Structure 1
Amino acid sequence: MLEDNKQAGLLTAPVVVGSIEETVLANGVLEPARMVNVGAQVNGQIDALHVSLGQKVKAGDLIATIDSLPQSNALRIAEAALANVTAQHKARSIQLRQAVTVYRRQASLLSQKAASRLDVETAEAAYKTLEAEVAALQAQMVQAGVEVETARVNLGYTRIIAPMDGVVIAVITKQGQTLNSAQTVPTIVVLAQLDTMRMKIQISEADVGRAKPGQKVWFKILGDRQTRYEAVLAQIEPAPTSMSSEAGIQAAANPQGTVAIYYNGLLELPNPVAALRPLMTAQVNIVLARVSDTPLIPWSALAEPEADGRYRVRVRTPDGKSQARLVTIGLSDKVQAQVLDGLSVGDEVVLRADGPLSEPVTGGML
C-alpha cells in the first residue's frame, strides 16, 4: 500500500510480509508430445481418404487407400515367376534322381566289367550337371520368394494405416491426388497425441546458466489469462537452436556480427481438456527461487547498490522527514524485493521525496 504524505512531500510504502519468487522469463511454444507425419511409400493416385480434420483415430485405423492395380499386377507377376521356377526345380529334381540312378547302374556294371569307363564318366557328368542346375534353381526360388514378399508388402503400402492413437491435426493431400514417393515420402495427414503437450522454451544465453532441470515452471496463454499452468523443466538442450541444421553449424563456426543465442528448454504437461493447442505461445516463468512470509518492499524504493552489495533506501521518520538506511536484499522480481537486513515490518520506505534527509545513513538489523 502506498501512502502519500503531501505535507512532507513523501510518497511511501510500508514493509509488508508476503511471498516472492525470482524467475527467468522466456518465450515458449507448445507442440504435441508425439506427432507423426503419415505418408505413402508407393506411387499412385489416392482412391479414398477415410479421415477428416480433427477426427480421432486408433492405431491400425485405415487413413487412405491408393490405387493398387500396379502393385496387384506386380504381385501376380512375382507369384507367376515363383511358380515357374518352382516347376523347373521340380522337373530338374526328377531328372537328377534319374541321372543318379543311371550313374549308380553304370558304376555297378563297370565293376562287373559290363560297362566302359566312358559310360560311367558320361553318367557322372550328367548327374553332376543336373545337381548344379537344381542348386541354381533352388537359389532362384529363394530370390523369387523374396520378390513375392516385396510385392506383397508394396501392395500393403497402398493401404495407409494409422501408426498410433491420435487426432488428425492436418490433412495434406486430397482424394484423387497423385503421389510420387521417388524422392521424398509424401505426407498424407499429420497425427498428434494432444493429451500431453511439450513446450520448447527459448532461454537466452544470459539466463541459461541459472536455469536448471527440475526447476518449477509456470505460464499463462494469451487466450486464457486466468489459468496458470505449472510444470517442471525436464531438460535443457546442450547446443543452441541455431545449430539444429548444417547451415546453422557452419554459421556458428564462422560467426559474423552479433546474433542472439537461445537454448531450448523442454517440458511436458498434461492436457486433459485440450485447452492447449499446437503452436500456442506463452511467456514462461522459470522459478529460480521462492520464499514465503518474508519482509518485502517495492523495488522502486532501492537506490543503486553500494560497494558492499547493500542498497540505500530512505525511511520515513516520525517527524515526517526521511532517513537513509543501508539494507541487504535477497530475492527480487523487479517489482518487489526481499529484505534480509536493515528494515522491520511496518517501516515506511520512501518512493519519492521532495524534502531533505533528517539523519545520516544507518544500517543493521532493527
Structure 2
Amino acid sequence: MILAACNEKQPISLDTVKAERGELTETVTATGTIESVTQVDVGTQVTGIIDKLYVDYNSVVTKGQLIAEIEKTLLQSDLTSAEANVESARLTYEYNLTNYQRDKALHDKQLISDYEFQTSQKDLEVSKTAYDKAKADRVRAAKNLNYAEIYSPIDGIVISREVEVGQTVVSNMNVANLYTIADLDNMQVIGNVDEADIGQVKVGQAVTFSVDAYSDELFEGHVTQVRLNPTTESNVVTYEVVVAAPNPEHKLIPGLTANLTIYVMREKDVLLLPTKAFTFQPESNDDKNLPQPQGSATDIKLEKNQKCVWVVNDGLLIPTAVTTGASNGMKTEVTGGISDGTVVAVDYTAAMPAGIKPNDEQSPFAPQPPGRNKKK
C-alpha cells in the first residue's frame, strides 16, 4: 500500500491571491512605564505643626483649593511684632527727619557746626534704613502667615499624603512635602526603545499599548518626544520615547507597565499584494488544469520601483510589471500596473499522498528522491 501510494502522482495546485485594498503597517515594540504629565509635590515653606488636613488619598482637587493649614499662633505673633517694629521705626524716622530739616536750616545760616549737621544727617539715614528693614520684615511675616494655608497648585487627584495632623514639619533647605497631586486626565508613557529600532521612531507616530491591569483593552496615543540620551544596562542600549496618552476615564495610573506598539509606518486604503508574489517563477508542466505561462519575465523592461508579477487570466500566467511602494516584509503596496481584484500567482502547492507525513516544503517540480517515480 505504501508503494502504491508512493507511485501515485502528487496533485499540484496553484496558490493565488487577489490584489485588495487594506492597511499596511510596520511596527516597533517596546515596554515602558506610565506617568502623569503633570505631577506636583505640594509642600510648606514655613516650620510649624500641621493643624488641619482637608484632603486625603484619591481626593479630587481644583487649582487654588485649600488643602491644609499649619498652626498660625506663632506666625500671627511674628506678624504682630513686625507691625509694631514698623510703627516704631516710622516714628523714629519721622523724628530724625524733623531734626534734620531743622539742623539743615540752622547749618545753612552757619548757626551750628558741621559736626552737628552731619550727626543729624547720619541719624536720619540710619533711621530710614531701619524703617525700610522693618517694612521688609513685616512683608516676610505676612507672607509666612499666608504660607500657613496650603493650596493646590493644579487640578488633579491626590496620589500621596506624607503627613498627619499634629505632625511638625520643618522647612530648611528642602521644602517639606505634604501631598503629591497628579493630573490623571493627561498621562504619558516613557518607553524604552532598542537602539536597532530608534532610527525609525519619529514624533507624531501613532502608538497603541496595553497594561496588565486591563489586559483586554487597548489604549491609544502618539509619540511626542524621542530623547537622545541613551541608557545602557547589561550592555543593552535603549532610548526613551515619550508617548502622550489621554486618560478621560482615569484607568491609567502612575507606575503601570505598558507594552507599546509604535506604528513606524501606517498606510491606509492602499492596494496590497503578498511580498512573495514578486518572487514567484512559473514552471513548465504537463498538467492541463494549471494555468500555463505565456511569455517570459525577461521580455518586460522594468523601470525604477517596478517588479514583475504573474497575473492569472483565462487559464494563462501573464507576466505583468507593477509599480511598488512601501513594504513591511510580509505585504507590499502596489501603486500601479494592476487594479483591485486582479488575481496574481503566489506559489505552487503539492498535496501529499495519504499516509505520508509532510516534511520540508519543496517545489512540486523539484527532482524527486530515487525510487519515487519508478515504474513497476
Q: Tell me, in whole angstroms, the C-alpha distance in 1 between the residues paired with 2:13 and 2:115.
A: 117
Checking the alignment, whether the CA contact within 8 Å between 1:9 and 1:355 is kept in structure 2 is: no
Structure 1 residue 169 corresponds to structure 2 residue 168: no
Checking the alignment, whether the CA contact within 8 Å between 1:34 and 1:193 is kept in structure 2 is: yes
Structure 1 residue 98 corresponds to structure 2 residue 102: yes
Checking the alignment, whether the CA contact within 8 Å between 2:221 and 2:244 is kept in structure 1 is: yes
1:212 is matched with 202
Checking the alignment, whether the CA contact within 8 Å between 1:313 and 1:350 is kept in structure 2 is: no
1:29 is matched with 33
Which of 169, 174, 197 is equivalent to 1:179?
A: 169
Deviates more, 1:10-19 or 1:260-269: 10-19
Which of 253, 262, 273 is equivalent to 1:277?
A: 253
SS at match of 1:212: coil
Q: 1:262 to 1:12 in 2, by over 3 A?
A: farther
Structure 1 residue 224 corresponds to structure 2 residue 220: no
Checking the alignment, whether the CA contact within 8 Å between 2:221 and 2:245 is kept in structure 1 is: yes
Q: 1:349 to 1:258 in 2, by over 3 A?
A: farther
Which of 351, 357, 365 is equivalent to 2:363?
A: 357
Which of 62, 69, 91 is equivalent to 1:65?
A: 69
Q: 1:125 to 1:154 in 2, by over 3 A?
A: same
2:187 is matched with 197
1:131 is matched with 121
1:145 is matched with 135
2:55 is matched with 51
Which of 260, 263, 266 is equivalent to 1:287?
A: 263
TM-score with structure 2 length normalisation? 0.70
Structure 1 residue 268 corresponds to structure 2 residue 241: no
How far is 1:8 from its partner?
5.3
| Contiguous gaps of at least 5 residues in structure 2 | 1-8, 291-307, 310-323, 351-357, 368-376
Task: Read off the aligned partner of 2:274 and give its amino acid letter.
Answer: L
1:331 is matched with 327
Task: Read off the aligned partner of 2:117 and give its amino acid letter.
Answer: Y
Q: Tell me, in whole angstroms, the C-alpha distance in 1 between the residues paired with 2:286 and 2:147.
A: 86
How far is 1:64 from its partner?
0.7
Checking the alignment, whether the CA contact within 8 Å between 1:8 and 1:354 is kept in structure 2 is: no
Report Cα offsets for 1:221-261 as digits up to 9, x if no partner: 3333444333321210121246xxxxxxxxxxxxxx95222
Which of 235, 245, 257 is equivalent to 1:259?
A: 235
Q: 1:345 to 1:218 in 2, by over 3 A?
A: farther
Structure 1 residue 240 corresponds to structure 2 residue 230: yes
Q: 1:92 to 1:38 in 2, by over 3 A?
A: same
2:87 is matched with 83
Checking the alignment, whether the CA contact within 8 Å between 2:15 and 2:345 is kept in structure 1 is: no
Give the share of equivalent positions with the same residue, in percent. 25
Q: 1:356 to 1:151 in 2, by over 3 A?
A: closer
Q: Tell me, in whole angstroms, the C-alpha distance in 2 between the residues paired with 1:221 and 1:145.
A: 57
Q: 1:228 to 1:27 in 2, by over 3 A?
A: same
SS at match of 1:86: helix
Report Cα offsets for 1:12-70 as digits up to 9, x if no partner: 98646554421000112221121111011111211111112111112111111112223
SS at match of 2:88: helix
| Contiguous gaps of at least 5 residues in structure 1 | 1-6, 108-119, 243-256, 303-309, 362-366
SS at match of 2:42: strand
Which of 296, 305, 308 is equivalent to 2:274?
A: 296
SS at match of 1:294: strand
Checking the alignment, whether the CA contact within 8 Å between 1:36 and 1:192 is kept in structure 2 is: yes
Q: 1:259 to 1:180 in 2, by over 3 A?
A: farther
SS at match of 1:164: coil
Q: 1:339 to 1:170 in 2, by over 3 A?
A: same
RMSD over equivalenced CA pairs, Å = 3.8
Deviates more, 1:262-271 or 1:223-232: 223-232
SS at match of 2:28: strand
1:247 is matched with none
Q: Tell me, in whole angstroms, the C-alpha distance in 2 between the residues paired with 1:318 and 1:133.
A: 123
Q: How many residue pairs get matched?
A: 310
